[in-house]
Structure 1
Amino acid sequence: MTKFEIRDLRADVLIGADERQEILKGVDLTINSGETHAIMGPNGSGKSTLAYAVAGHPKYEITGGDVLIDGESVLEMTVDERARAGLFLAMQYPVEVPGVSMSNFLRSAVTAVRGEAPKLRTFSKELQGSMSGLNIGSEFAARGVNEGFSGGEKKRHEILQLELLKPKLAILDETDSGLDVDALKVVSEGINRAKANSDVGIMLITHYTRILNYVTPDFVHVFAGGRVAESGGPELADVLEADGYERFAKAGASQ
């Protein structure tokens, strides 16, 4: 059982050389192995900042609080050390890495996380199996990472990484954005498969409830004003779908 804890986390975004803005204003959240927590909230509430600050993006500076995996703080770790400790971030806007084939990238990542290089034949079988489950053609293995991929293909590649790396905690930053219904179903099935195969804890950041029709959350948290404003079960997502975020956005603006 893995416990991921965010304790009173505060963070600034660096706007310029001498300018910063506080975005996270005391975030508290605990995710255990096998749990799915949906983070929902209005634009500008700090959801993506939370994801990147936890992952170690240099644009965001932690000013208070802590982030722990099984009681060990990750804040002094480098980005790659956080990944080896079990953190995974599926980015909202995956970047292209021309000249690095997808298969080489994935095998290098798996080697770094697992601590030893998988045998080529074994890894090839594992890779092709996961690609098939995500409707990714075998020819993509030789292409540059995300190079020329459509938005949906990039998002499926993020879930392919999730399946292969088997992290302890996966932060999925608006993985559903830009997906049509068919791609959403494929991506959701990949998330559910990864969870079933590794008991990963999931922080699922989203604006909409449509992905929650396929990936059932154990908890839903409303994020507003740089903190968790309200928490509940899956039924809270239905309330948000019906009523929107207006009251939370107003409360956040007044803080």
Structure 2
Amino acid sequence: MSVLEIRDLHVSVETDQGTKPILRGVDLTLNSNETHAIMGPNGSGKSTLAYTIAGHPKYTVDSGSITLDGEDVLEMSVDERARAGLFLAMQYPVEIPGVTVSNFLRTAKTAIDGEAPAIRTWIKEVRTAMDNLRMDKVFAERNVNEGFSGGEKKRHEILQLELLKPKFAVLDETDSGLDVDALKIVSEGVNRAQENTDLGVLLITHYTRILRYIKPDHVHVFVNGKVAEQGGPELADRLEDEGYDRYLQTADQA
């Protein structure tokens, strides 16, 4: 079993107005085969946590730690984090003109594993994963995210997840911009990845609709860069009914 541990994490970012603290002491432990949902209003620090785990240079870790199976993640480069088993599905995937999906996926798999996958086996894996995600085979020859719809971009993120087989996946608002059918297909892909490996999932979302398909073991409410409350799946149901107002009022009073 693998463990991703975040301890007393404080993160800031440089703005035109100076240094702005965003995360203000986050503690979280994610084990293999667990799903943790992080919910909260806009600007609460959810995406900052995702990009800090992945190693985005925009964010400065002021104090605290992130470890993966006892290894210091913060000392790793972005590619080292990926090879160690961390995966980020971005909220806004970027276009890579001139690079086809098929070349991108095989290059990524080779970089992660340290050797190129066997062609025949790899082609079969890619086709099976694409079929499961209802992706046309011509998709593989398109340039990465170039001209993709929102749903196509998110399916491509989950396609990477299924093929690269990380230890932990951080899904940053993977549900945003998806219609009901695409949401179900993407969610099925995440569940399939978790069933076939011991994948741990950190699912960042505003809404509970994706939690109808990806069932969380734990729910954490982020407000003002901190975990304001945590609990089981029933906490998400309460948020659906009550919203975040009471947390925001408490934060304003503090």
TM class by shorter chain equals: over 0.9
Does the 8 Å contact 1:163/1:194 carry over to 2?
yes
Unaligned runs of 5+ in 2: none
Provide the residue aligned with 1:13 in structure 2: 13
Residue deviations 1:9-56 (CA, integer Å, cap 9, x gap): 01001224x822000000000000000000000111010011011111
SS at match of 2:79: helix
Secondary structure (helix, strand or coil) at the match of 2:140 reads helix
| Residue number in structure 2 paired with 1:139 | 138
Please, what TM-score do these two structures have when normalized by structure 2?
0.98
Aligned to 2:179: 180
CA–CA distance in 2 between the matches of 1:63 and 1:250?
A: 27
SS in structure 1 at match of 2:75: coil
SS of residue matched to 1:75:
helix
CA RMSD between the two structures: 1.0
Counterpart position of 2:159: 160
Q: TM-score, normalised by structure 1?
A: 0.98
> C-alpha deviations, 1:181-204, integer Å up to 9, x for none?
000000000000000011100000
Residue 236 of structure 1 corresponds to: 235
Contact 1:226 1:252 in 2 (8 A): no
* Native 8 Å contact 1:97 1:145 kept in 2: yes
The 1:112/1:253 distance shift into structure 2, 3 A limit, reads: farther
Structure 2 counterparts to residues 34-53 of structure 1, below 5 A: 34-53=33-52
Rounded to whole Å, the distance in 2 between the matches of 1:249 and 1:86 is: 35
Structure 1 contact 225–251 (Cα < 8 Å) conserved: no
User: 1:193-233, CA deviations, whole angstroms, 9 ceiling, x for partnerless residues?
Assistant: 00001110000000000000000000011011101111100
- Give the alignment of 1:111-122 within 5 angstroms: 111-122=110-121
User: Conserved in 2, the CA contact under 8 Å of 1:5 and 1:30?
Assistant: yes
Encode CA deviations 1:115-155: one digit per residue, 9 max, x unaligned: 11001121111111101100111101111001110000000
Map of 1:96 onto structure 2: 95
- The answer for the alignment partner of 1:124 in structure 2 is 123
Tell me what 1:24 maps to.
Answer: 23
Q: Give the % identical residues.
A: 67
Partner SS for 2:148 = coil
Q: Is the 8 A contact 1:92 1:173 kept in 2?
A: yes
Deviations 1:45-104 (A, max 9, x none): 010011011111011000000000011111011101101111100000000000000011
The superposition leaves residues 156-200 of structure 1 with CA deviations (integer Å, 9 ceiling, x where unpaired) of: 000001001111110000000000000000000000000001110
Alpha-carbon distance in structure 1 between the residues aligned to 2:186 and 2:53 = 23
| 3-state SS in 1 of match to 2:195 | helix
Distance 2:33 2:207 in 1: 22
The secondary structure found in structure 1 opposite 2:74 is coil
| Number of aligned residues | 254
What is the CA distance between 1:254 and its match in structure 2? 4.1
Query: 1:84 and 2:83 equivalent?
Result: yes
> What is the CA–CA distance in structure 1 between the aligned matches of 2:222 and 2:213, rounded to whole Å?
21
